[in-house]
Amino acid sequence: PAIGQLESQVYSARALVHSLVPLLTVVPVNGTAAPASTPSYIGQFFVDTTGKKLYFATGVASSADWTLS
């Protein structure tokens, strides 16, 4: 392939990787009580360090979208 085609393929691959990073990165949130904030993304985890409970985000509309695991 020509250099221009290779550059285009590399750019497309890089864009794909960058779009997948949020899906592959799990960033837990923690606090000393049940979560009161709205989850940032579905699948996010929240750790209640005092109650030793784990919550899982099933939506992103309100704090009610945290589900106790």
How confident is the model over 48-57, as pLDDT tens digits?
A: 999 999 999 9
pTM of the model: 0.62
Question: Of all helices (H) and strands (E), which one includes residue 53?
Answer: strand 53-57
Model confidence pLDDT, tens digit, residues 17-59: 666 666 556 667 899 999 999 998 888 899 999 999 999 999 9
Helix (H, G, I), strand (E, B) or coil at 57: strand
Taking the C-alpha atoms of residue 33 and residue 31, their distance in angstroms, rounded to an integer, is 6
Give me the helices (H) in 1-69, please. Answer: 3-24
66, burial (CB in 10 Å: exposed 0-12, middle 13-18, buried 19+) = buried
Q: Would you state the structure tokens that stand for residue 16, as one six-digit string?
A: 């794909």
Taking the C-alpha atoms of residue 50 and residue 32, their distance in angstroms, rounded to an integer, is 5
